Structure 1
Amino acid sequence: MQAEAQVQAGPWPGGRKTAVVLTYDDSLASQLDIALPALDAAGLKGTFFLIGSQIRPEQIGRWRAAAAEGHELGNHTVRHACPKSSYPPARRLDTSNSYDMEMMLAEIRTMNSMLTAIDGKLQHGLATPCGQHLAGGEDYLPALRASGLVRYTRSADGASDGALDPMNLPCIWFDEKASGVDMIAAVEKARRDGGLLIIGFHGVGGDYLKVNGEAHAQLLAYLKQNTATIWVAPLMTVMDYAAR
């Protein structure tokens, strides 16, 4: 099923002022150990973009349980191939420079199958590795649109208060330099603007590119206290609502 060209950001369910989506990338242990319990304690649901090669066998049951509890599992490809320019020269990693579009789409298709084996769902969304959509220096987003492999693609930076391209959704990022106040301020701006805010995290209280665990907890507490005006839901749920 190919996504529509654009969907409108708002109005949101129950007259809420904004929709906030909490996304977590890279299949990190701190997400299972810290982020998921914090979300569950606050009664909130998040979207976790998993890298197939980073999922350890002993984690599969935990990811499956998270999906059963209403969290979304998303596609972050099998190997997370990024352009060489995204990494310091000393790091030996798979790079998308050696891919072509056919290879990248095949990897996305394979990761969809892995996710279905975990959560039982036939459709998933994608977060592009490193927030870009290049394979061998060529933009694979047009081919991905035509393929119907994913329902949405989260890639670009920024927030949106107007029409959205489901295949190039904006996202803002926080790391250990961000306080709870900083993150709450971003949500408050989205509430004033009335749009969609997708927040991206990697590690939570651990791992890399991490956000401080207490700051993350402050954000969740604020969101829990303001459910009358802020809708927090997994990204697939929000996009399905916006496309209605």
Structure 2
Amino acid sequence: MSAPSSRTVALADLSATEALAARLAGLAKPGDSILLEGDLGAGKTAFARAFLRAASGDPVLEVPSPTFTLVQTYETKIGPVFHYDLWRLDGSDSLAELDWDDARDGIVLVEWPDRLGPLRPADALVIAFRLGEGEAREATLTGWAERVGPVVAMSPGPSGRPSPSSPSWQPPALSPSGQSAPSSPLGRSAPPSPLGRSAPPSPSWPGVSRPSTPRRRSADGRDTPGHDDKDEAGHADGHPNT
């Protein structure tokens, strides 16, 4: 059996990382596994946050890092998504306490997947992040050959925008602050108000209510409130692209 093909994408800044995550969220389906590899600060958590916001249809969804709770679960428009951070996991045997078997029926995002051991899914999409200059990152995607090809062809430029040859529809790119670009539901500019001021932009995802606070599960199996133990954005080291 041949090894899965790999494709590398240059990510010029945080917006490019978020745009890649949003496109992949549009392709993911229940039963999928996405394994995020890379050093501290390489972009794993930033990718997971943008993926979950796109999957939920909420550009300001709070996505704290599950470093201490190990897993957080989100109900999204594409099904339940389980966000794992296995940095502190003692061994793959402990995954039984973290709903791993049930999670595999949904979509799993796993940071530090080397802790999975023999439970590592063979059909997963593996994204290996490498640090560049400043906010620049490089991501190598291995697996999902048929699905990843078009995504790589739509690889974002320095501002997170695709090349002119990209298809007309794509998930909206998020700014570093987590806000979506202002637009009307039909993609037209909002008309000016009677007083000459620009009317406020329409929501990027009309009709979608914000999901409830994500359920957090500790290693002993108890649900805990959605409180982030890190800084407000859930960064491990204060860098926006952790």
Fold conserved between structures, TM > 0.5: no
Rg (Cα) greater in structure: 2
Richer in helix (by share): 1
